[in-house]
C-alpha cells in the first residue's frame, strides 16, 4: 500500500493530466456528433481487429477437436451412401437384423468407422501405418483404410486398441482399380520411388487413356468399395515387353499429412471368400 501512495505522489502531475484528457475526450464524444461518429468508427475498427485475432487463436487451438467432429460427421454421411447397400432378392424372405438391412430391403455391405493415425512411414520401400482403433472398437483384418481424398491402405494386423495397416506405398500392395471413363480394370501398385505417384498396370494398349483421366477402385476389389478415388493419370507409356500400358498416377491421398482416416469393413467378405475357396466339382 505504501508503494502505491509513493507511486501516485511521484507521478501525480502526469496521472492528473491523463485523467483530465480522458474527461475532455468523453465530453467531446458525448456533446459532438462529429467526434462521436469518429470515436464509434475507431472503436469498431479496434474491436473488430481484436475479435479477429482472438477468433484466429481460438480456432487454432480448437482445430483438433473440429477435425475430429468433422471426421465423425463425414463417416456418418458415408455410412448413409447408397453404394454401401445391395438390394436383396425379395422372392424369399426371412427374419434379419434391422441394423444390417434398411427399410427398403437393401442389405448393408460396407460399414465405415472413423480412426486416428498415430504412426505413418513413407520413406521406406515397405511402409506401414499404425491406427488407434482395434478389435475392441470393431476393427478386423483386411479392412480398407480410406483417407479424406482417397484410398490409403489395408489393415493387416489387429490388437485390442490398435491396428497396423499396409500403406498403399508398399512394394507388395496391389489394389484392383479401373479407369473411371472407360471402366477398364487394372492393378494399382507403387514402384518404391516417389510417394506422390503410383503405377497403374494391366491396362491393354487398345484402351484410350489420356492425361488427367481419373483412376478409381474397381468392382473386383474385395476390400475397397467401388469407385473410390485413387488418383489422376499424369503419364502414359507403352510397355515394350507386353500388350499393356505403364501408367503413372498422381495419388489423391497425401501420405505426408495423414491424421484421420476411415476403416471400411466389407460385411460380406468372409462369405465371398468361403464360397471362392470351395473346390469346383470335376476339376
pLDDT in tens, 15-31: 888 888 888 777 776 77
On the 0-12 / 13-18 / 19+ scale of CB atoms within 10 A, 255 is buried
> What distance in Å separates the CA atoms of residue 179 and residue 213, rounded to the nearest whole number?
7
If one counts every other C-beta atom within 10 angstroms of the C-beta of residue 282, the result is 4
Residue with cell 487394372: 186
Least confident of 3-7, 103-107, 131-135, 206-210: 103-107
Closest among 70, 120, 114 to 263, alpha carbons compared: 114
pLDDT of the residue at 154: 96
Closest among 227, 184, 230 to 205, alpha carbons compared: 184
Beta carbons of 29 and 36 less than 8 angstroms apart: yes
Beta carbons of 252 and 214 less than 8 angstroms apart: no
Beta carbons of 201 and 246 less than 8 angstroms apart: yes
Beta carbons of 200 and 162 less than 8 angstroms apart: no
If one counts every other C-beta atom within 10 angstroms of the C-beta of residue 79, the result is 15
Continuous H helices in the chain? 2-10, 12-31, 33-61, 63-79, 269-277
pLDDT of the residue at 189: 95
Backbone phi, then psi, for 154, in 5-degree steps?
-140, 135
Beta carbons of 177 and 216 less than 8 angstroms apart: yes
> What distance in Å separates the CA atoms of residue 168 and residue 228, rounded to the nearest whole number?
14
pLDDT of the residue at 3: 78
pLDDT in tens, 46-79: 655 665 666 566 556 656 666 665 666 676 666 6
Indicate yes or no: pTM above 0.75: no
Report the first-to-last Cα separation within the chain, whole angstroms.
102
Amino acid at each position: 500500500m505504501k508503494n502505491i501512495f509513493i507511486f501516485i505522489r511521484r507521478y501525480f502531475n502526469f496521472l492528473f493530466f491523463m485523467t483530465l484528457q480522458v474527461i475532455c475526450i468523453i465530453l467531446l464524444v458525448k456533446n459532438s456528433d462529429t467526434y462521436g461518429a469518429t470515436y464509434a468508427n475507431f472503436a469498431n475498427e479496434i474491436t473488430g481487429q481484436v475479435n479477429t485475432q482472438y477468433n484466429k487463436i481460438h480456432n487454432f487451438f480448437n482445430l483438433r477437436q473440429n477435425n475430429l467432429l468433422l471426421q465423425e460427421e463425414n463417416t456418418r454421411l458415408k455410412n448413409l451412401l447408397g453404394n454401401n447397400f445391395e438390394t436383396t432378392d425379395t422372392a424369399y424372405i426371412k427374419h434379419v437384423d434391422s441394423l444390417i438391412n434398411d427399410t427398403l430391403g437393401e442389405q448393408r455391405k460396407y460399414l465405415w468407422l472413423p480412426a486416428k493415425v498415430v504412426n505413418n512411414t513413407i520413406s521406406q520401400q515397405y511402409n506401414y501405418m499404425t491406427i488407434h482403433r482395434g478389435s475392441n472398437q470393431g476393427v478386423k483384418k483386411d479392412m480398407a483404410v480410406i483417407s479424406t481424398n482417397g484410398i490409403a491402405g489395408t489393415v493387416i494386423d489387429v490388437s485390442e486398441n490398435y491396428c497396423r495397416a499396409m500403406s498403399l506405398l508398399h512394394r507388395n500392395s496391389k489394389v484392383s482399380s479401373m479407369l473411371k471413363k472407360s471402366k477398364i480394370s487394372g492393378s494399382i501398385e507403387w514402384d518404391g520411388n516417389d510417394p506422390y505417384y503410383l503405377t497403374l498396370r494391366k491396362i491393354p494398349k487398345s484402351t484410350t487413356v489420356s492425361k488427367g483421366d481419373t483412376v478409381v477402385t474397381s468392382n473386383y476389389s474385395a476390400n475397397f468399395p467401388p469407385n473410390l478415388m485413387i488418383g489422376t493419370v499424369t503419364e502414359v507409356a507403352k510397355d515394350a515387353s507386353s500388350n499393356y500400358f505403364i501408367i503413372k498416377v498422381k495419388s489423391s491421398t497425401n501420405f505426408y499429412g495423414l491424421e484421420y482416416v476411415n476403416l471400411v469393413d466389407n460385411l460380406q467378405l468372409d462369405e465371398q471368400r468361403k464360397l471362392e475357396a470351395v473346390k469346383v466339382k470335376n476339376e
